[in-house]
Structure 1
Amino acid sequence: MAYAGGSKVSDEGAKTCALPQECAEHSLNYGLAKTVITTRCCTSDLCNTQSAPDASKFSPNGKKCFTCDGATCTKTLNCEGTEDHCITTKVNVDGTETTLKGCASKLMCLTSSLARKKAATGTELSCCQGNFCNSASSTSAGLLLMAVPLFSLVLLS
């Protein structure tokens, strides 16, 4: 599910095989835009006939990361639910590099998961632990609302 400004903007479904550690709810939250992936896993052949469960209610968990507001990345974002890492993403949209910062779940930050996402999106992704560990440097452009839905679609495919 993808959210923008707190409202659900898309709800995509997919059925595939997954590693056991990927069978959990995980999210990527850039403040104005958030992607939540929920899974329902099973272990027998052709058992994935049911849809994934709805996302949990989003409650702050005490973790804090920087997020970007236009070209400035000094705004505080309160992480929610399973978001236990801070993330910095560099996205190239139409030749303009934009930096996005926010909160992410551990699964979004696993090395193999990051490598797949980087290969699919052509982006740079880095995760860290600790409040505000994704430093407050400025970005070169404010394409957040255009870049995040594109990035979210790649995550869901």
Structure 2
Amino acid sequence: MNNSTSLYIFIITIGTIIILSLSKIFFDEKMWIEKEEEVKGWYCGTVPTGIDGEILVFDSLNIQQEEIVKIGKELFEGNCAQCHALNKKVVGSALAGVSERWESEEQLIEFIKYPEQIINKNKYAQEMYEEYGQFMPNHDFFDDEQLKSILFYIKYRSGEKVYVELN
């Protein structure tokens, strides 16, 4: 074997090592990001420990909350998922954090039921209409408790802290 062949093999070997190392870093980081998003999507909360980026997961739903999430999920999938996703715009807005964008839950519920009527009363509703150029159809067939269960489900799936007020 001459010097040029040895140099060629050396360069190929080093190049392969570099490519494999970079792909491992990218793959591992991508897996961590996907795992973190999955964890945030399915549990009440996550707590970063600060040790090697490890995340502790806890699920603190009680039986009543689990039932609300189940009802909210069914209603969401049957009525909302055609136009909305949690973390991306589809036909309508992304719904993660939707409750925080409204002054009150009552105002949000009124908007869901009668969006066209609320646009003149609410600046955020006006901004959404300007952005999307259309109204969401009325969802006045829902009662307030059904809408609250959908909103609870959205919060839960988004990784927000959730609670139920007991009467």
TM-score, normalising length: structure 1 = 0.25
Higher RCO (CA 8 Å, separation ≥ 6 residues) = 2
| Structure with the largest fraction of strand | 1
Q: Which has the higher helix share?
A: 2
Structure index of larger Rg: 2
TM-score normalised by length of structure 2: 0.24
